[in-house]
Structure 1
Amino acid sequence: MKSPELPSAGRADVRIVAASPEAARQVAEALRCRFAATEQRSYPVDDSGGTRLHLTIDTTHTPEPAQPWLVSSRSSGDARTQTDEI
């Protein structure tokens, strides 16, 4: 069996296989939230109703780490009591 062709430097090819097109789309969307990516290409998986989805992501820009909502929603340091917080 021939080895697959490697993507260019700074790129990663991602293959997602899921039972439904919606599940594959959700995984691709999660990757796009963290990395720049090409448009996805989807293909049916035989007669099972499954989907195989391909996309290429850019790995040259390291994404910022995801922060929990509590950390990202902290105030700017202004500790003054607001009128509705009494």
Structure 2
Amino acid sequence: MDRNEPEALPPPGYAEVRIVAASPDAARMVADVLRHCFAGGEQRSYPVPGGGTRLHLTVDTAHPAEPARSWLAASRPPSGAGPHAEEP
């Protein structure tokens, strides 16, 4: 892909994650943590010029696993907590 071309966006509800690490094991450990939080597809791994690994992973943000679901729920404001329409 030419660096001047716009990168294709993943489908709605998905995120592309790129992990760059000095070793394949370090990249896999980070990918494993993400897989515990989000459903995801197969990872793709590439060598980095000069050493290291670049790992690409697609995660499904619409179906978070329990750790992410808990964090997402806690980070959202509670519904109905604001003033009613008739209140100033």
What is the TM-score normalised by the length of structure 1? 0.69
Larger Rg: 1
User: 1 CA distance for matches of 2:46 and 2:14?
Assistant: 21
- Large movers: runs of 4+ above 3 Å: none
1:57 aligned onto 2:59: yes
Partner of residue 81, structure 1: none
User: Structure 1, residues 25-83: CA drift from partner, whole Å, max 9, x if none?
Assistant: 0000000000001111101112x3300000100011243226xxxxxxxxxxxxxxxxx
Partner of residue 44, structure 2: 41
5+ residue gaps, structure 2:
72-88
5+ residue gaps, structure 1:
67-86
RMSD: 1.3
- Number of aligned residue pairs: give it: 65
Larger strand proportion of the pair: 2
What is the TM-score normalised by the length of structure 2? 0.68
The correspondence of residues 1-86 of structure 1 with structure 2, limited to 5 A, is 1-46=4-49, 48-62=50-64, 63-65=68-70
